[in-house]
Amino acid sequence: MSEITAPSRSAATLHDVAREAGVSLATASRVLNGSTRKVAESYRERVEAAAEKLGYTANLSAQATARGTSAIVALLVADIADPYFGQLASGVARGADEAGLVVTIAITERDAQRETRLVRALRGQRPRGLILAASRTDGPDSVGLDAELAAFAAGGGQIVSLGPDGPGRAVSVDNVGGATALGAQLAALGYARAVIVAAGIGIRTSDDRVAGFTAGFTGAGGEIQEVVRGGFTRDAGYDTARALLERGLEPGTLVFGISDVVAIGIMSAVRDAGRRVGADIAVAGFDDISTGRDIRPGLTTVRVPLEDLGYRALHAAVDTEWAPDPQPLPLEVIVRGSTPPRT
Amino acid sequence: MSEITAPSRSAATLHDVAREAGVSLATASRVLNGSTRKVAESYRERVEAAAEKLGYTANLSAQATARGTSAIVALLVADIADPYFGQLASGVARGADEAGLVVTIAITERDAQRETRLVRALRGQRPRGLILAASRTDGPDSVGLDAELAAFAAGGGQIVSLGPDGPGRAVSVDNVGGATALGAQLAALGYARAVIVAAGIGIRTSDDRVAGFTAGFTGAGGEIQEVVRGGFTRDAGYDTARALLERGLEPGTLVFGISDVVAIGIMSAVRDAGRRVGADIAVAGFDDISTGRDIRPGLTTVRVPLEDLGYRALHAAVDTEWAPDPQPLPLEVIVRGSTPPRT
DNA sequence: ACGCGGGAGGTAAGCGTTTCCTGACGCCGG
DNA sequence: CCGGCGTCAGGAAACGCTTACCTCCCGCGT
């Protein structure tokens, strides 16, 4: 037992530990926070015991200022309640945990100004890396963002973009290839007419999927009747599909939603219009979020390894050695009941 | 134009700004980072211009060490890909953004040891508050956790628990009341027999919902045939329901899943067993996650304002003035197609 | 004209760590 | 027995920021 430890209002510091162990700050630091230097076993034990006793945990902020580098990775997503981003974030978090890093998360709500503001706020933490998962458009609003990102990069931070042409390192999947395969396979199933519910023009993910699907579908003899624009949300899918249905949609038409979330909205709109998903109006999506397994009919889609993608993004953000994947991750088409064979 | 600014490998510091503006550190600090003291307009402008020019953003780590208090709130969830936690996290993030705080997130994967480790890691950031949303059990593993939480609280951090009897401030909903209402309403719909698929004994949320549902259902003349134990996941629901179905389940039985995620698993199991959800086996859940809207039949459930809950949790974590809600948030029963009237 | 008070900028002492550098000590070879 | 060298603990200077305190100056009252 040592002196009475006042139930302090602030956490134990390294100083406290050193005093308790009867060693210098330097020694305590070396023992507790990975230094390459050797410390005599007896000292080491004393320090460890003291730390344990006091419940000491290094103050990461102080560590960051002293070391000039933080143990933080920032993640920017459009909407964490969206399963797409949820699964992605899962992978990021797993990788961060393995690497002993902490993830801070911010939500853009798909608002460019907000995104700029958030990047600026996150920049304050001097994170090692910043993962941009909020599929953003390069509209006029992006100028402020670019400045923030440039400042971040200038400060030595690593930017990672999901998708092939964002700033920083890129982690991407083969949207074009996956969509092409999907289109071809659905045409082979007997679909002749398709409508695409896409997001805005200029959003690379959307554009690639539209292009791929179009190529695959028409290449196999199908016809794209229309590409309508919504967004990446369930409600966008619902509303867009609803408008489509009101204008009239022939039975047997296939509606391709740019993502599963959109496709799920489409399915609901179809049903609310009194039509049957599958038998009457076929629906396909993209991503294979886990919900797709549980809705009926099951949603035909393209499987994207979202968690894996998040994991890769994390590594792209923090590894010093990094090479872009030689080719984007290949994707797999999954046919379920929402697109029954049509013969 | 001033001297040549080397494209530095590290971000601009307050020092740089002060030099650029030709003022002292103190003045620059006062201008840029909220101080009560007045600074002459001319100085203010100079500093602001310099900051703008250099793309300066305060180093939050340094700020935290200097001020002795961080702008961070930590959030611990079981699984961020689970829509329940996703919606919750949404509310937390929104509140944090409003309050100018940053959220760091960690994922327990429902593993008590991991949770302990994560709390320790998060503690390193000296967050203002720690929101415990990972519904944890108070098993033997919790002793390490309790020590970490105590240490966190001793350091002046505010702990917030979701649910009525965790450590720190509590933010909770009226699980008992909601479940009672649900049970009563379903009994009134004509259901006479129910099976409950719950999580482990000792998990308060599960216990409360079981107790409430039982009270409501039996109170209105129904009979609880069995309470089986799984977990809070979709797969737990699926597997448990599957076992139940293999043992035989009379048509007209109601299966109450402890959460929507579980109920969705149950629905899939029912269908995979060749039975019909609703007409044959009725299913009800709890939470009203957004997926419930899009599956067919719609899932009967109790609406929990998850995002709002997250928002409240954030405020419980950071507000100095705080009083527990006089009574837990009331909940609303939502009857959908998964429990058709049975007459 | 002088003294005094108050307003506002600067100086410097922290905050909790890391890390460079000094210096004590022990061991070896000559 | 002494010098040299290697080892390892400790002192102290950073890191980027905040803030208590000091100082200076201006304007006012008498």
What pLDDT was estimated at residue B228? Answer: 97
Indicate yes or no: CB of A59 within 8 angstroms of CB of B124.
Answer: yes
Interface test with B, best of A52, A61, A143 (most B CBs within 10 A): A61
Whether A307 has its CB under 8 Å from any CB of chain B: the answer is yes
What is the distance, to the nearest Å, from the Cα of residue B48 to the centroid of all Cα atoms in its chain?
39
Query: B38, exposed or middle or buried, with CB in 10 Å at 0-12, 13-18, 19+?
Result: exposed
Which pair of structure tokens corresponds to residue A272?
């609310």
CB atoms within 10 A of CB B292: 22
Residue B79 touches partner A, C-beta closer than 8 Å: yes
Instruction: Kindly indicate the confidence band of residue B330, based on its pLDDT and cuts at 50, 70 and 90.
Output: confident
CA angle A272, A274, A280 (to 5 degrees): 115
Q: Which residues contact B26 (CB under 8 A, 6 or more apart)?
A: none
Strand C–CB A15 distance below 7 A: yes
Tally the residues of chain B. 343
Q: What is the mean pLDDT of residues B50-76?
A: 96
pLDDT tier at A21, thresholds 50, 70, 90? very high
Percent of chain B as helix, strand, coil, to the nearest 5: 45, 15, 40
> What is the token pair recorded at B324?
């527990």
B86 neighbourhood in chain A, CB within 8 Å: 80-83, 86
A329's tokens: 């991750």
Decide: CB of B68 under 7 A of nucleic strand C.
yes
Angular region, B259: left φ>0, alpha ψ -120 to 50, beta rest = beta
In the numeric block, which tokens belong to residue B296?
Answer: 């067919």
Query: DSSP character for B314?
Result: H
**Of A99, A84, A129, residue with least CA distance to A309:** A84
pLDDT category of residue A1 using cuts at 50, 70 and 90: very low
- Does A89 contact B81 at a Cβ distance shorter than 8 Å? yes
Is A287 within 8 Å of chain B by CB?
Answer: no
At residue B266, the 3 state secondary structure works out as: helix
Interface touch A107/B86, C-beta < 8 Å = no
Cβ of B26 less than 7 A from strand C:
yes
Contact B72 A104 (CB under 8 A): yes
Local confidence band at A4 (pLDDT 50, 70, 90 cut-offs): very low
Q: Integer distance in angstroms from CA B37 to C1' C6?
A: 14
Task: Give the single-character DSSP code of A258.
Answer: S
Tens-digit pLDDT profile for residues B245-286: 999 899 999 999 999 999 999 999 999 999 999 999 999 999
C1' of D19 to CA of B221 (Å): 69
pLDDT tens per residue across span A72-125:
999 999 999 999 999 999 999 999 999 999 999 999 999 999 999 999 999 999
Which residues lie below 8 Å from residue B242, measured CB to CB, with a gap of 6+? B269, B272, B273
For residues B58 and B30, the answer to whether their CB atoms sit within 8 Å is no
- Paired tokens of B53: 């020019």
Q: Which residue has the tokens 């966190």?
A: B152
Look at the block and give the residue holding tokens 């440039």.
Answer: A150
A35 Cβ nearer than 7 Å to chain C strand: yes
Contact predicate A306/A87, CB 8 Å = yes
Cα–Cα distance measured from residue B254 to residue A325, given in angstroms and rounded to the nearest whole number: 50
Q: What angle do CA B117, B120, B123 make, to 5 degrees?
A: 150
Query: CB atoms < 10 A from the CB of A219, how many?
Result: 12
DSSP string, A199-230: --TT-HHHHHHHHHHHHHHHHTT-EEEEEEE-
CB B114 within 8 A of CB B84: no
Residue B27, pLDDT > 60, answer yes
Considering only CA atoms, give the Rg of chain B: 26
Residue B206 C-alpha, separation from nearest chain A C-alpha, in angstroms = 23
* Site from B113, B125, B304, B308 to mutate, A interface, most A CB atoms within 10 angstroms: B125
Q: Is the CB of A36 under 7 A from strand C?
A: no
> Which nucleotide comes closest to A38 if you measure CA to C1'?
D8
To the nearest whole percent, how much of chain B has pLDDT over 90? 85
- Distance in angstroms (rounded) separating the CA atoms of residues A270 and B328: 38
Query: Is pLDDT above 50 for A177?
Result: yes
List the one residue out of A135, A91, A159 whose CA is nearest residue A286. A135
- Mean predicted lDDT score pLDDT of chain B: 93
Q: Using CA atoms, how far apart are residues B95 and B90, in angstroms rounded to an integer?
A: 9
Q: Å from B266 to nearest chain A CA?
A: 10
Q: How far does the CA of residue B268 sit from the closest CA of chain A (Å)?
A: 6
Q: What is the pLDDT of residue B137?
A: 63
Q: Which residues of B92-131 are buried (b: 16+ CB within 10 A; e: fewer)?
A: bbbbbbebebbbbbbbbebebebbbbbbbbbbbbbbbbbb
Confidence of residue B138 (pLDDT cuts 50, 70, 90): low
Q: Which helix (H) or strand (E) holds B158?
A: strand B158-162
Integer Cα distance of B170 and B158 in angstroms:
11
Chain-chain contact of A89 with B106 (C-beta, under 8 angstroms):
no
CA of B40 to C1' of C1 (A): 30
What is residue A277's three-state secondary structure?
strand
Q: Is the CB atom of residue B151 positioned under 7 angstroms from any atom of strand C?
A: no
Residue A181 CA to residue B261 CA, distance in Å, equals 32
Cα–Cα distance measured from residue B22 to residue B47, given in angstroms and rounded to the nearest whole number: 8
Residue of B nearest to A277 (CA): B296
Structure tokens at B17: 């700004």
Q: How confident is the model at residue A137 (pLDDT cuts 50, 70, 90)?
A: low
Q: Which residue of A has its CA nearest to B63?
A: A61
Which has the minimum average pLDDT: B31-35, B123-127, B193-197? B31-35
Give yes or no for a contact between A60 and A102, defined as CB atoms under 8 angstroms apart: yes
Q: Is the peptide bond before A341 cis (omega within 30 degrees of 0)?
A: no
Give the per-residue pLDDT at A139.
61
Residues 6+ apart with CB under 8 A from B301: B182, B260, B263, B284, B285, B286, B287, B288, B292, B333, B334, B336
Q: How far B208 CA sits from the closest chain A CA (Å)?
A: 25
pTM greater than 0.85 (yes/no): yes
| pLDDT band, very low/low/confident/very high, at B140 (cuts 50, 70, 90) | low
Strands (E), B3-134: 72-77, 102-107, 129-132
The dihedrals phi and psi of A227, each to the nearest 5 degrees, come to -120, 115
- pLDDT score recorded for residue B1: 43
Residue B276, SS3 per DSSP: coil
Report percent pLDDT > 70 for chain B. 96
Judged by DSSP in three states, A307 sits in: helix
Q: Is A131 on the interface with B (CB under 8 A)?
A: no
β-bridge partners, A284: A256, A300
Token pair for B264: 């969705």
Q: Which among A125, A271, A294 is the nearest to B61, CB-wise?
A: A125
Number of Cβ within a 10 Å radius of residue A1: 4
Nucleotide nearest to B27 (CA to C1'): C9
Mean pLDDT, residues B314-326 taken together: 92
Note the pLDDT tens digit of each residue in A257-303.
999 999 999 999 999 999 999 999 999 999 999 998 899 999 999 99
Kindly state the average pLDDT of the residues A57-68.
Answer: 96
DSSP state string for B179-221: HHHHHHHHHHTT--EEEEEE--TT-HHHHHHHHHHHHHHHHTT
- Tell whether the model's pLDDT for residue B145 goes beyond 80: yes
- Å separating the CA of residue B29 from the C1' of nucleotide D24: 21
- Structure token digits, residue A114: 């907000």
